Amino acid sequence: MRFALLTTVVAIGALACGKKGGDQTQTQAAPNAPPAAAPSAATTSGPVVEVKMTGNGSTKAAFEPNSITIPAGATVRFIDVSGGPHNITFWPDSVPSGGAAALQAGMKNTVDNLSGPFLTQPNETYEVSFANAPKGTYKGYCTPHLTLGMKIAIKVQ
């Protein structure tokens, strides 16, 4: 019974999100403007880099871009553009040594360890601060859309 329910949920998610080919990889220079305060946002002191969370009937669920490079101390602002619910969850085994505590401190209103809340409305945002996070690559995913390949790599330099 559980397998049938899971299969149905995945199939509906696949139909709702559709498909889109190709990966997007981008290195972003952070804007100079200070970040706007948001109730769910971590306190930011560095630049803010935006990542869109997309997916609807005609496109695959995705982080856009799905690979970014940020300076140490930056904040990543995830924006639900379409196709929610979306969230950001980091694989604990992908976090550089000593980074889990800093990353958890930079994630407010978490639903689980290294897992942010679900964004359900267009233009809703969630910020993850990489202040005090060690350099390295942090790999994450959207919990509801992991099986559809919604993954991201954030490289802190």
Task: For residues 12-26, give the mean pLDDT.
Answer: 43
The residue whose two tokens read 């991201």 is: 152
* pLDDT confidence band for 29 (50 / 70 / 90): very low
Q: pLDDT tens, 118-157?
A: 999 999 999 999 999 999 999 999 999 998 899 999 999 9
CA–CA distance, 107 with 113 (Å, rounded to integer)? 9
| Residue 45: predicted pLDDT | 67
Q: What are the structural domains, with CATH classification, of the chain?
A: 2-156 (2.60.40.420)
Q: Check: pTM over 0.75? Answer yes or no.
A: no
The vertex-69 CA angle with 13 and 95, nearest 5°, equals 70
Tokens of 10: 């995945």
**pLDDT value of residue 56:** 60
- Determine the residue type at 67: S
Is residue 75 within 8 Å of 44, Cβ to Cβ?
yes
